[in-house]
């Protein structure tokens, strides 16, 4: 009996946006789609700022210089939204 080994490649191939979502195409053919509300910096970015992304982290990350935002495919696949800022206790 033979088994089929499925090769995954979670490196970023392309990034695109709708009004409500970010989609990241991976090198292995999968696409991650998550709500933009998970990433407030991206949600509040302009179309020009969103389009100005670059692959980083050996291919496993995405960086937006204009928005000071970094995402990883690992975090997106885990379903991890951006950390919320906690209010300072006075």
Q: Which H or E element spans position 49?
A: helix 47-51
From 10-14, 27-31, 71-75, 82-86, the region with the lowest mean pLDDT: 82-86
Nearest Cα to Cα of residue 19 among 35, 31, 32: 35
pLDDT at 90 exceeding the cut of 50? no
pLDDT at res. 42: 97
Q: Is the pLDDT of residue 6 over 90?
A: no
Q: Which domains does the chain have, with CATH numbers?
A: 12-78 (3.30.2020.40)
Rounded Cα distance, 64 and 54, in Å: 7
Cα 90 vs. chain centroid, distance in angstroms?
A: 34
User: pTM value?
Assistant: 0.85
Provide mean pLDDT across the span 1-6: 65
Report pLDDT digits (tens) over 61-89: 999 999 999 999 999 999 988 887 655 55
């Amino acid at each position: 009996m033979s088994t089929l080994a499925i090769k995954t490649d979670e490196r970023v191939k392309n990034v695109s946006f709708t009004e409500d979502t970010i989609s990241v195409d991976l090198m292995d053919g999968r696409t991650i789609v998550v709500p933009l509300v998970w990433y407030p910096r991206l949600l509040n970015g302009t179309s020009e700022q969103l389009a100005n992304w670059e692959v980083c982290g050996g291919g496993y990350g995405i960086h937006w210089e204009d928005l000071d935002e970094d995402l990883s495919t690992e975090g997106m696949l885990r379903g991890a939204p951006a950390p919320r800022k906690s209010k300072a206790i006075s």
